[in-house]
Structure 1
Amino acid sequence: MPPTHVRRLTRSELRRYSRPLLVPEWQRAGAQERLGDARVLLVGAGGLGCAVAAAVAGAGVGRLRISDHDVIDISNLHRQLLFRSQDVGRAKAAVMAAQVQAINPFVQPEVVPALTPENAAELLSGVTLAIDATDNLAARYALAEAAHAAQVPCVWGPPVARRAWSPCSVVGGGCMTCFRLGARLPTVATRPACWACACTGRSDDGAGSPQGAGRRRADPGRATVDLRWPQWPGPRDRPTPAS
């Protein structure tokens, strides 16, 4: 039976979530109800963000806080599948919020300013989980450090070319800065800008979908996520230019 401290699902919600509710462990834990009570901060509304937003909206997260500063460009459309040609020039966060509502009217999207080191703690206030779908390391490291300080689990997943990773930090574990010091992670100065990197639609989806799944796989009663920390690619893993 669902715990008594969470609200009961309405009839409309029971119909919508009827398939996951058939999983005995999911139903016994009251996981769907807890998911509906959760608040997720999604930083980045690009290729990763689109995959994540669709996944968590479909799953039934209660509130989705979307942080992004960018506008939709024609070159985004091959991989950022929540956007359409007529959306070019519009703010990504606003369009994503509308699409999230279209996917699942029970989800309450909230558009917030772009994350900075100065406002990161405020954007994390009241958040159950942070999902890093950014395309720049300055925001990524700022979010990781703020989430670690606030004891909020943070999932991130960078795609490059045809590769994708989706690791996660957990409450009580190290933040990304800890891993960066010894795991060959790039620095803000050495990592190329997003627009200069190759990226296929499948690599964005390959990283973003596990990020969204990480939210669903999080134990509703504890701040842990069942994802493994990967090895960042070394120089020999990088493609060499054709001679």
Structure 2
Amino acid sequence: MIEVKDLSAAYHENRSKKIVFEGVSFEVSSSVPLSVIGPSGCGKTTLLYLLSGLKKPEKGEILFRGEQLNGHRREIALVLQHYRLLPWKTVFQNASLGLRIRGFSKKEMKETVFPVLKELTIDHLLDRFPNQLSGGEKQRVAIARALALKPSLLLLDEPFSSLDALTREHLQNLILSICRQRELGLVHVTHSIEEAAFLGEKALVMNEGGYNLLSIDGTGMAERGPEYRQNDLFHQYCNLLRGYLKR
């Protein structure tokens, strides 16, 4: 689905250039979700902006379905860490915002958004405003806004970091289920070792000056459910990630 070749990113300020990362290569398919983990400042969010087409790389290339990625593509949806919901709009209006911008009719928006809200179990909150929602509900609205656009690749930037543990696990389960059903590609940025191990069948571990791409056998998306967190393989994967993060 998406192929990254020898990718480098940099920021330019006052005639100086700061390299964020360089030489990163990997592939993402709809059946193999990728977690991206590393310390603050290593370029995880920058990588998502590059994959979304919102930022240009310093070097290297990104191929989306075999074609050079030049600018944003409609098939790629990005969900940022902060919900970015419009406080004066209802759940339905926030979730359908992207469709409205694309010129969908009210009938088309309802037909598209209602099933997504039901899938995320927030269809009973249609007419509520953001200040009437919990953190988990707000995050689901932000995810619904992305899924309503029917992307083929979903990019998540630490969307569960501010949620309590049980809500976070529930949404992790939900995201994997949705990606499996829709055959969605998934790239997920996180600071959490456990979250990276649960959501990713591959993990890109980013450290200052380098990266490691890890994979583990026998943990396909179709096999993962809440009970996977109790599996010895899950804990082995957590320990593997922890070891690479300490390098």
Category of TM-score, reference length = shorter chain: under 0.3
Q: Which has the higher contact order (CA 8 A, sep 6+)?
A: 2
Q: Which has the higher strand share?
A: 2
Normalising by structure 2, report the TM-score.
Answer: 0.28
Normalising by structure 1, report the TM-score.
Answer: 0.28
